[in-house]
Amino acid sequence: MAFIHPMVILLAILSGVYTGFLGWKRFRFRRGRGTASEFPWQKHIQWGKRFYILLWIGSFIGFGALFYLKGEIFTSGLHAYLAVLILLLFSIGVALGGKLSKGKGTNRLALSHLIINYSTFFFVLIQVILGVVFLTFFL
């Protein structure tokens, strides 16, 4: 039971990293390197959506599992607070992606999309470490 949440989150992270890898091709083109056709526009959006949906499903499974095991949620301390921060930041990053996908994005908007999404992976890294500690010592 306790492993379902980490597995869904792992799938989300893999999809997110792949989305970021595709996005990098656009970053290069926008700054004069590579060609526009190297960036698979629709594929980036598709994987971005997949990533975002899996992230939410994974998080709800985390809450659900704790509720099932302990009868309450938000008992994991930093892991729970960081989850809220991560969900908030990616929601902003993805919302900017939605704006960009209408084709009216400026360089600055694209850059904000990049910075928010890429830097949130730093918190994801901490979250993974906390998750492993949690799984090993507290459950």
Whether the CA torsion 50, 53, 59, 61 is positive or negative: it is negative
Cβ-contact 72, 66 below 8 angstroms = yes
Q: Which of 57, 88, 114, 122 binds ligand HEM (CB under 6 A)?
A: 114
Tell me how far, at minimum, the Cβ of 35 lies from ligand HEM, in Å.
13
Residues 29-88 interacting with ligand HEM (rule: CB under 6 A): 30, 44-45, 48-49, 51-52, 59, 62-63, 65-66, 73-76, 79-80, 83, 86
- Check binding of 8 to ligand HEM (CB under 6 A): no
Alpha helices in the chain (DSSP H): 4-30, 41-70, 78-99, 107-137
Tokens of 132: 């492993």
- Check binding of 116 to ligand HEM (CB under 6 A): no
Phi/psi of residue 41, nearest 5 degrees = -50, -55
Of all residues in the shown chain, the one whose CB is closest to ligand HEM is 131
What CA–CA distance (Å, rounded) separates 29 from 37? 9
Q: 127: which residues sit within 8 A by CB, 6+ positions away?
A: 79, 82, 83, 86
Tell me how far, at minimum, the Cβ of 91 lies from ligand HEM, in Å.
10
Contact positions toward ligand HEM, by CB under 6 A? 2, 5-6, 9, 16, 19-20, 23-24, 26-27, 30, 44-45, 48-49, 51-52, 59, 62-63, 65-66, 73-76, 79-80, 83, 86, 94, 97-98, 100-101, 105, 110-111, 113-114, 117-118, 124, 127-128, 131-132, 134-135, 139
